[in-house]
Amino acid sequence: MSNSFKNILVSTRDGVATVTINRPDKLNTLSRETLHELREATQVILEAGDVRTAIVTGVGEKAFCAGADVSELSKLDVSGAKAFAELGQGIFSMIESGGKPFIGALNGYAFGGGCELALACGIRIASENAKLAQSEIKLGIITGFGGSQRLTRIVGKARALELCLLGDAIDATTAREWGLVARVVPSARLMEEANAIASKLASYSPIAMKYTLEAIHRAAEAPLDEGLTYEASLFGLCFATEDMKEGTSAFLQKRKPNFGGK
């Protein structure tokens, strides 16, 4: 994993990669350069055989990611803005659908593009001081990195409209009640909790996790009968893997499985 990034920090340990946005003076906002670095890091994580899951967070306790860098947004024309949106959408789709679970550890403000980054993560946990907002409407623009689409699928049309039209922030407790985050923990315990979840994921079969992600993503888009057919197909494919044989053998032998990802 490259350590030459300017705007993000990346580390890997025991099958878990941690990506930390490192622009504290800019509330960890997403400049074009930061997005390119995030794309490179994500690609490496997805291709690394020794990495099974990843945590995404921000430096400090104030901001996870306060959105796109407005100083750059203000200079875009129509074609440039569309290209910028497509850049962010492509990266977030990699995070969401790349086949490995990403954990969003929201340590503060998750506004605009930062909220959209969180939405792309399969599991989201928040510190008690976290706040989430799709605040683009206050800049005279709309969500560009997938917020309108993922929010509608996650929290429903009514709440997606409220978040995107009003642009107001909600606190971590409300975010949990709405299904935007799965857990809320004290700030001091956020990374401990994220790492505990990541360690558990890293111990599971990467093939089974990949198929689980695929099945659930399909459930959000396909009619029930199509989703069930797809699930059954993926279930069947699991039985061609060494991981299935290891998992069932370990269970019957009352020992911990050692999944090799094959």
Which residues belong to the active site? Answer: 116, 136
* C-beta of residue 227 within 8 angstroms of C-beta of residue 215: yes
Of 79, 51, 47, 84, the C-alpha closest to 68 is 84
Extract the runs of DSSP E, i.e. beta strands, from the chain. Answer: 8-13, 16-21, 53-58, 63-65, 102-106, 109-111, 123-127, 131-133, 170-171, 183-185
- What's the burial of 73, exposed, middle or buried (CB within 10 Å: 0-12/13-18/19+)? buried
Cα–Cα distance for residue pair 10/23, rounded to 1 Å:
14
Of 262, 125, 240, 121, the C-alpha closest to 191 is 125
